[in-house]
Amino acid sequence: MTVTDWITTPVNWVFAIVALAVLASAFRVVTAKNVVHAALFLVATLAGSAGLFLILSAEFVAWVLVLVYIGAVIVLFLFGIMITRAPTGYDESLDGDRKIWPAILSVTTFALMTWASLEAFGTRAVSNPGEGTDTEVIGIALMGRFVVPFEVVSFVLLAALIGGITIARRDLTPAEEEERTLV
């Protein structure tokens, strides 16, 4: 596949626009000086990723991402930010002082991973783009071949739920405890 082929395929323009939006908002997630802004930029990043999943014809996973991440996880993050009464305005102390080594490390990681995937896959194309995935197939896989991991994951969720409540609950002082037993 030559560069001209790549540019003349309309789906690649969609990809380029979505990818730029994802990268820009992901950059703002790690650089924003406001906690709430960082969380909201993560919404943009995740919405862009859902768009990429739609391009890759993984519709079910795309909507699961929208429901679980944008609908639940981000709301949880915002609740966490508000409940802790953390400073929500502009805040200089969100970042550490030394940024050069983390930057070098992340650029090196990016270069290494890019080199590895270019070596391994070269110009390999995505097969049958635009052909949707049957959600039935995913359901049958989840309830058949992957039923044990599925149950384990649901147990993990339950344990995380109970653990989260236990950790975040405020312990009563002895006086309050006594008051409660009297009532």
Q: Name residues contacting another protein, limited to 12-51 (CB under 8 A).
A: 12, 15, 19, 22-23, 26-27, 29-30, 35, 38-39, 42, 45-46, 49
Give the footprint of another protein on residues 51-70 (CB under 8 A). Answer: 52-53, 55-58, 60-61, 64-65, 68-69
Q: Report DSSP state, residue 34.
A: S
Residue for token pair 């890759």: 56
Nearest distance, CB of residue 177 and another protein, angstroms: 18
* 114-153 binders of another protein (CB under 8 A): 114, 117-118, 121-129, 133, 137-138, 140-142, 144-146, 149, 153
To another protein, the closest distance from the beta carbon of 182 in angstroms equals 26
Q: Judged by CB under 8 A, how many residues of this single chain contact another protein?
A: 92
Half-sphere exposure of residue 156: CA atoms within 13 angstroms, side-chain side: 6
Show Cβ contacts of residue 65 under 8 Å, excluding neighbours closer than 6 positions: 46, 49, 50, 53
- Tell me whether residue 130 or residue 174 sits nearer to another protein (CB atom): 130
From residue 96, give the alpha-carbon distance in Å to each of 102, 104, 161.
10, 15, 32
- 6: CB partners within 8 A, 6+ apart: 12
